[in-house]
Amino acid sequence: MGQQKNLEGYVGFASLPNQVYRKSVKRGFEFTLMVVGESGLGKSTLINSLFLTDLYSAEYPGPSHRIKKTVQVEQSKVLVKEGGVQLLLTIVDTPGFGDAVDNSNCWQPIIDHIDSKFEDYLNSESRVNRRQMPDSRIHCCLYFIAPSGHGLKPLDIEFMKRLHEKVNVIPLIAKADTLTPEECQQFKKQIMREIQEHKIKIYEFPETDDEEENRLVKKIKDKLPLAVVGSNTIIEVNGKRVRGRQYPWGVAEVENSDHCDFTILRDMLIRTHMQDLKDVTNNVHYENYRSRKLAAVTYNGVDNNRAKGQLSTKSPLAQMEEERREHVAKMEKMEMEMEQVFEMKVKEKVQKLKDSEAELQRRHEQMKKNLEAQHKDLEEKRRMFEEERANWEAQQRLEQQKLEATRTLEKNKKKAWYQKPYQSLSSP
Amino acid sequence: MASTEIARQAGEGARAVPLSGHVGFDSMPDQLVNKSVNHGFCFNILCVGETGMGKSTLMDTLFNTKFEGEPTQHNQPGVTLKSNTYELQESNVRLKLTVVNTVGFGDQINKEDSYKSIVEFIDAQFEAYLQEELKIKRTLHSYHDTRIHACLYFIAPTGHSLKSLDLVTMKKLDSKVNIIPIIAKSDAISKSELAKFKIKITSELVSNGVQIYQFPTDDESVAEINSSMNSHLPFAVVGSTEEVKLGNKMVKARQYPWGTVQVENENHCDFVKLREMLIRVNMEDLREQTHTRHYELYRRCKLEEMGFKDTDPDSKPFSLQETYEAKRNEFMGELQKKEEEMRQMFVQRVKEKEAELKEAEKELHEKFDRLKKLHQDEKKKLEEKKKSLDDELNMFKQKKTAAELLQNQAQQAGGSSTLKRDKERKNLGSL
């Protein structure tokens, strides 16, 4: 990403590793180790041998000394110091695992415990006020396989399949001093075959750029799963005081690499890969847990993220922001639609009203016209009648006059006629 | 050995057990260091100062290389930040160095807003990191951290006091970034003036409550050197990439007629101290402070702004799920409320409009009812008129008929109609 620049002199940031070293020592280290296996496989003894201490002693008895009915998950915390480096070591025991007659779901309390540690870390990481975040997540799980010499038991397979994606699983062959080297070889091959067959992902050693380291890593890979022997007792062998198990036929030395793979386990677990185990837990297992948890919270289990695959990389807050924007857009659209519908309906109604008004107006006009026509008719009729009557009356008057005239004439004639006789009589 | 943080954290829960041999976990710091070295380091420096203070030159001198850039002019309209990233390597240590320069700082007439672009830039880097941290699928491990780890503030060598622009800017930045104030081009100040200048600056910073970066004194291996360096703040530096022959060596220096200022001579300037503190001793601490103090403060403020709380009113701590669910419910509730409100508004409008239209309809009907009534009245009048006309007509007809009859009779009766005439006259008279 950046430009390569050559330095023309000593600057001094090569001291950064020292600064980091200094700070890490000051801070101190922590590591959480879980041991799982049936009772009697020598788990406590192995822990004591690994850390050269009596983690489990008479005062603090190991799990096998306690009889359990169901699988428990128990923690022991110890603070150990060596060479100026302080380590807070937490050992998580699972007494009762695989000891019952019916062992279905005996892994569930273990899974729950691992998840609850992830949950604690997630919660403290997500607080608003974050302080020191204690890391109690399980960094490594040592799984003890009984040295049957044949293969993995169904319980072994089931357990590893369920836990390989939650924690770094390192399978170990316990009490390896009951197997001869050849038997051990066979057993290991068989186990690795079965592990591959069931696609179990056990802890893988990381590749490095260093040739030397890669060679070492290859050597370890060839010996997986490691066959270990543990011991609480120190025995004198050839003038040396060693940890071992005394048999009539000899001493099985814990730290002798010809006898067992204990030293490989110790070196790998503690001296070279402790930090890597923590990093894989943090960067892979924890992140898987977290993304699954947050995806569930964001979508409330709805399968929205199937269609929009890329949204799963957003934070829940960004998700809410997106939803807010979507909602605003949706509201705007809804508002527009409602507005449209409203306008349309109003227009309709107004139109109807107008039509109705026009209709009524038309009818009214028609009626008025009708009435006017009738009026006119009537007027006409009256006029005609008046005219006729006037004519007739005029005619009648004329007739009457004529009649009067005739009658008067007649009357006069008659009068004259009547008078005449009277005249004739009276005249001599 | 002093108790470590882990030990303090463990508290009562853990018991200390002795080891009966060498277990080997004392290699843990080495394991950690190896991983860091493989991963590479990154460091981001912000240089704040007026144009011409020698920021770029100082960077070149510090890192013994020539970084990009032409010298800028004084005519910038505002303050912009230019950042460049470089890959440097020294023995097996790879460093991704980002140098951010403020361009145009102090050149404007009105400098009230000068600090704003700087604050925005710093916040933007925090925001980017926060966003990455909050993602569901995140890759923090391979994230290129761009947060500013150190801010070198270049003070002009006036010899008197800090400018108000300096005080204002530093005050705004002190809670966001580690500020290391330096006196630039200090070859312009004499030794006696310098001492007074430093005291003045320090007291002004204190009296204005500006928190500058203090070299940490809690780790014994470096406590002594750090505390002594703290007393030399602010460092008076001179930068130069030009070499001058001194004796039989070539040294970085600035040559004047009256003498040569040697950059790496501790009597001449504090360049060596700066380099020692910034790079060789405290680089990692600067990064840590940025992450655990400044970034956390930013994050806390941002989350509180968004309404996140750590505990509910009963002081019970929220789990992450509860927090998100509560936030989400609140958010959904808000959205639903908005929707409801809009719907209600529409319902209201519809109701109002309906009432309006109904009114109009009613009026219309009333109007026409009135007209209809008028019409009825008119019709009635017309009917009456018609009736009276008909009556008159009938009367007239009768009259006419009667008159005609009479006339006919009169004509029929002819000459000797005296009697008839008398009769008629009588009849007529009686009519």
Query: Can you give the CATH number for the domain in which B232 is found?
Result: 3.40.50.300
CA distances from B299 to B129, B213, B303, B305, B308 (A): 10, 20, 6, 10, 11
- Tokens 């690994």, residue? A50
E-only strand ranges, B91-149: 93-103
Q: Hey, is A22 helix, strand or coil?
A: helix
The mean per-residue pLDDT over the stretch B355-374 comes to 87
Q: Where are the alpha helices (DSSP H) in B160-244?
A: 164-173, 191-207, 220-230
Pick among A6, A57, A79, A340 to test the B interface (most B CBs inside 10 A): A79
B39-77 pLDDT, tens per residue?
999 999 999 988 888 888 899 888 888 887 677 777 777
Structure tokens at B376: 């009825």
Question: What's the gap between Cα B419 and its chain centre?
Answer: 134
Banded pLDDT at B199 (limits 50, 70, 90): very high
B302 and B323 assigned to the same domain? no
- A47 and B CB contact within 8 Å: no
User: What is the distance between the terminal CA atoms of chain A, rounded to a whole angstrom?
Assistant: 181
Higher pLDDT, A424 or B185: B185
Phi-psi region of B78 (alpha: psi -120 to 50; beta: other; left: phi over 0): beta
Residue contact B36–A20, C-beta within 8 A: yes
**Which residues, listed in sequence order, are joined to residue A75 by a DSSP beta bridge?**
A92
- List CB contacts of A309: < 8 A, sequence separation 6 or more: none
Nearest to B310 among A19, A127, A364 (CB): A127
Q: Where are the alpha helices (DSSP H) in A127-210?
A: 154-163, 181-197
Residue of B nearest to A18 (CA): B33
pLDDT value at residue B126? 94
pLDDT value at residue A172? 92
Higher pLDDT, B328 or B225: B225
Query: Min CA distance, B108 vs chain A (Å)?
Result: 32
Q: Are B158 and B187 in contact, with CB atoms under 8 Å apart?
A: no
B216 and B324 assigned to the same domain? no
Asked if residue B422 is part of any domain, the answer here is no
B234 and B333 assigned to the same domain? no
Residue of B nearest to A122 (CA): B320
A55-107 pLDDT, tens per residue?
766 555 555 555 566 678 888 888 888 888 999 999 998 888 888 888 888 88
* Average pLDDT over all residues of chain A: 83
- Tokens 């060498």, residue? B22
Nearest one of B110, B104, B111 to B53, comparing CA atoms: B104
Q: Are A63 and A74 in contact, with CB atoms under 8 Å apart?
A: yes
Contacts 24+ apart (CB under 8 A), A288-291: A288/A165, A288/A166, A289/A115, A289/A118, A289/A122, A289/A166, A290/A118, A290/A122, A290/B136, A291/B136, A291/B137, A291/B138
For residue B153, give the H/E element and its range: strand B150-155
**Which residues, listed in sequence order, are joined to residue B103 by a DSSP beta bridge?**
B80
B63 and B167 assigned to the same domain? yes
The mean per-residue pLDDT over the stretch B214-227 comes to 88
pLDDT value at residue A314? 58
Residues from chain A that touch B385, judged by Cβ atoms under 8 A, are: 378
> If you count residue pairs, one on A and one on B, with CB atoms under 8 Å apart, how many are there?
337
Asked if residue B256 is part of any domain, the answer here is no
Structure tokens at A140: 């490594």
Question: What's the gap between Cα B117 and its chain centre?
Answer: 13
Residues from chain B that touch A346, judged by Cβ atoms under 8 A, are: 353, 357
Q: How big is chain B, counted in residues? A: 431
Domain of B146, in residue numbers: 37-241+269-306
Residue A180 confidence (pLDDT) above 70 = yes
Nearest to A270 among B24, B323, B324 (CB): B24
Residue contact A312–B136, C-beta within 8 A: yes
Residue A132 confidence (pLDDT) above 80 = no
pLDDT value at residue A257? 85
Asked if residue B41 is part of any domain, the answer here is yes
Residues from chain A that touch B5, judged by Cβ atoms under 8 A, are: 26-28, 132
Banded pLDDT at B429 (limits 50, 70, 90): low
Asked if residue B164 is part of any domain, the answer here is yes
Nearest one of B139, B98, B154 to B122, comparing CA atoms: B98
The mean per-residue pLDDT over the stretch A307-335 comes to 68
What CA–CA distance (Å, rounded) separates B16 from B18?
7
The mean per-residue pLDDT over the stretch B340-360 comes to 86
Query: Min CA distance, A288 vs chain B (Å)?
Result: 8
Axis-axis angle for helices B320-413, B418-430 (nearest 10): 150
B325 and B185 assigned to the same domain? no
Query: Min CA distance, B128 vs chain A (Å)?
Result: 12
Question: What's the gap between Cα B160 and its chain centre?
Answer: 38
pLDDT value at residue B296? 93
Asked if residue B4 is part of any domain, the answer here is no
Nearest to A29 among B6, B325, B331 (CB): B6
Structure tokens at A379: 């007027």
B143 and B215 assigned to the same domain? yes
pLDDT value at residue A168? 94
Higher pLDDT, A401 or A306: A401
Query: Min CA distance, B49 vs chain A (Å)?
Result: 23
B359 and B275 assigned to the same domain? no
Query: What is the count of structural domains for chain B?
Result: 2
Q: Which of A18-22, A278-282, A398-402 has the lowest mean pLDDT?
A: A398-402
Higher pLDDT, A324 or A252: A252
Q: Is the ipTM of this complex over 0.85?
A: no
Residues from chain A that touch B146, judged by Cβ atoms under 8 A, are: none
B292 and B357 assigned to the same domain? no
B334 and B201 assigned to the same domain? no
pLDDT value at residue A305? 40
Buried b (16+ CB within 10 A) or exposed e, A253-292: bbbbeebbbbbbbbbbbbbbbbbbbbbbbbeebbbebbbe
Domains and CATH numbers, chain A: 22-228+260-297 (3.40.50.300)
B53 and B161 assigned to the same domain? yes
Nearest one of A52, A412, A40 to A266, comparing CA atoms: A52
**Beta strands at B93-103 and A234-237: parallel, antiparallel or unpaired:** unpaired
Structure tokens at A352: 């109807």
Asked if residue B30 is part of any domain, the answer here is no
Residue B424 confidence (pLDDT) above 70 = no
Asked if residue B411 is part of any domain, the answer here is no
What CA–CA distance (Å, rounded) separates A15 from A400?
158
Residue of A nearest to B41 (CA): A16
Residue contact B300–A129, C-beta within 8 A: yes
Nearest one of A103, A114, A90, A92 to A38, comparing CA atoms: A103
Q: Which of residues 354-373 of A touch B (CB under 8 A)?
A: 356-357, 360, 364, 367-368, 371
User: What is the distance between the terminal CA atoms of chain B, rounded to a whole angstrom?
Assistant: 161
Pick among B19, B32, B60, B84 to test the A interface (most A CBs inside 10 A): B32
Query: Min CA distance, A138 vs chain B (Å)?
Result: 16
CA angle B263–B269–B272, rounded 5-degree value:
65
Higher pLDDT, B400 or A229: A229
The mean per-residue pLDDT over the stretch A10-14 comes to 86
Residue of A nearest to B334 (CA): A324
Query: Min CA distance, A92 vs chain B (Å)?
Result: 13
Asked if residue B176 is part of any domain, the answer here is yes
What CA–CA distance (Å, rounded) separates A233 from A241?
10
A38-55 pLDDT, tens per residue?
888 888 889 888 888 877
The mean per-residue pLDDT over the stretch A283-297 comes to 86
The mean per-residue pLDDT over the stretch B218-246 comes to 87
- List CB contacts of B136: < 8 A, sequence separation 6 or more: A290, A291, A294, A295, A298, A312, A313, A314, A315, A316
B343 and B232 assigned to the same domain? no
What CA–CA distance (Å, rounded) separates B212 from B418?
159
Axis-axis angle for helices A108-126, A154-163 (nearest 10): 10
Residue contact A79–B5, C-beta within 8 A: no
Pick among B1, B3, B5, B6 to test the A interface (most A CBs inside 10 A): B6
Q: Are A16 and A23 in contact, with CB atoms under 8 Å apart?
A: no
pLDDT value at residue B28? 92
Q: Which of A153-162, A170-179, B67-76, B306-315 has the lowest mean pLDDT?
A: B306-315
Residue contact B364–A10, C-beta within 8 A: no
Structure tokens at B100: 């951010």
Is the bond preceding A109 in cis, omega lying within 30 degrees of 0? no
Residues from chain B that touch A23, judged by Cβ atoms under 8 A, are: 219, 284-285, 288
pLDDT value at residue B204? 92
Residue contact A11–B275, C-beta within 8 A: yes
Q: Residue A257 — φ and ψ, nearest 5°?
A: -70, -15
What CA–CA distance (Å, rounded) separates B298 from B301?
5
What CA–CA distance (Å, rounded) separates A25 from A84?
8
B85-101 pLDDT, tens per residue?
989 988 889 999 999 99
Residues from chain B that touch A31, judged by Cβ atoms under 8 A, are: 25
CA distances from A151 to A39, A164, A189, A201, B199 (A): 19, 19, 9, 17, 78
Q: Are B45 and B82 in contact, with CB atoms under 8 Å apart?
A: no
What CA–CA distance (Å, rounded) separates B184 from B199?
16
B103 and B164 assigned to the same domain? yes
